[in-house]
Structure 1
Amino acid sequence: MNKTFDPEHEGAATEEKEKKKKNKSWDYEKELKRLQVELAHLQAWVKKSGARVVVVFEGRDAAGKGGMIKRITEKVSPRVFRVVALPAPTDREKSQIYMQRYIAHLPAAGEIVIFDRSWYNRAGVDRVMGFCSEKKAQRFLELAPRFEAAIVESGVILLKYFLTVGEEEQARRFKRRIDDPVRQWKLSPMDVESYQRWWDYTRAYDEMIRMTDSNHAPWWIVPSDDKERARINCISHLLRSIPYERVKFQAPDLGKRQKRPGDYVDDQSIRHVVPDLTT
């Protein structure tokens, strides 16, 4: 059944949204722009220093991981800020050591790798949905801190963020995905399962955080019922957690553009030009 547009409802929702914005003591767009400038400075430092950074994003479904990662990466180079969002493992990968396919994506010098979901799939969806045995899940929880210790000891900066969202807010976001064609792709069968099995996932995540929070790789919890506040807080924390310095930009000398050659003749062959539909 198609959703009927209700102008009164939409107007009320817009008015409520604007009211919330006015009540904030800070300007989201202005603060986000400032932080994105700092992310550009971080990028320059990482490239120059050869630093290696890993940022893990985990959390509840519909907690805003995708939006968070988008705001971090939309103004920087994908060659430096590399996002890793692995699909379900192939039969070949299933036969490998569990951590093997994640190790292949760890950063080289001058890279920041952002994991949109990570090896912690083993402690979350794999465990709850029965994709691995309880014995394998427990073994993962025991080994993960040692695996991360090896990463940190090699000189990699490792940050782990877990985004939380309340039951009512998650339900609202799921319903919005159902009603909005441009968001429907975000609602997977696994999301539906996570909605129905809220408390199974709660128990799994509680144990995961308890057993894998360590001094060398602590979990940082990001309350995300308010997406804008979550983004500002998380990006600010990320920047404060990395000891970067501003690198002076060496502006290139563009020089002079060459003159049109006297023997150049405009090409007269037929070309297919995209029609202008804006007039």
Structure 2
Amino acid sequence: MPNLTLPAIILRRVDFGDYDLILTFFSLNKGKISAIAKSAKKSTKRFGGILELFSVLRLVCSTAKGRELLVLQEADLINSFSCIRGDLKKTAYASYFAELINEWSETGSEQEGIYRLLYFVLDQLDICRIPEEILSIIFQMRFADIVGVRPNLSVCTDCRIEIDRIKEDRVAFDFSKGGIICQKCACISVNRFFLSKGTIKQLLWVESGDLSKAAKIRFTPSSVKEGLGFLESFITYHIGKELQSLRFLKQIRRKDE
């Protein structure tokens, strides 16, 4: 049974029997992987309490031909992101990011861009430099681009007129077509979301701008609300269901209003 060594972020942990844990990771080199940590709950010495959600670890796993589930042999902590787990709102956002990746990704499909994006938003959540809502907008826009479902916000999906040449201040996004629709091309559709041109331009910057400058992004409160509403609806449309973590996140937001 050869060993596999790689950095990875914990997306999910599930109790298995009395003492074991089944862990789902997103790794830098192998994408989503799952491993069993035997006696992890029984012996604190073995893993030292580091198998917590969102933690970044360097794993040593044993592999066996024909078996999808790895066995976690060793783990060294790279970053615990402990401030996230100490804050309910931050935990809710991190849980949404993790569940989205877990739901969307296929096991063993390498996507380095997703790993680096997740590390970036978790790091920013932990150090509190960028508001949670802005990080969520960044994550969802970049994630959609990486996985190949980026929303077309630049031109009308039908006539190809550019967003700057559309006269109306609010533009319809048609989920079934995957892009904006100008008023001339619009028809009756239940799968629509209306966005202001100002919000659209900010979303376009988030999609292609330098992540190192993300802390300088300035959204108005209305653009934040509009952008989150649109992206969460967009992601839900493509997945085909509303994620449990997103329902919980919306409950927290309503309490804060």
TM-score (norm 1): 0.23
- Report the structure, 1 or 2, having the larger helix content: 1
Higher relative contact order (CA 8 A, sep 6+): 1
Rg larger in structure: 1
| TM-score under structure 2 length normalisation | 0.24
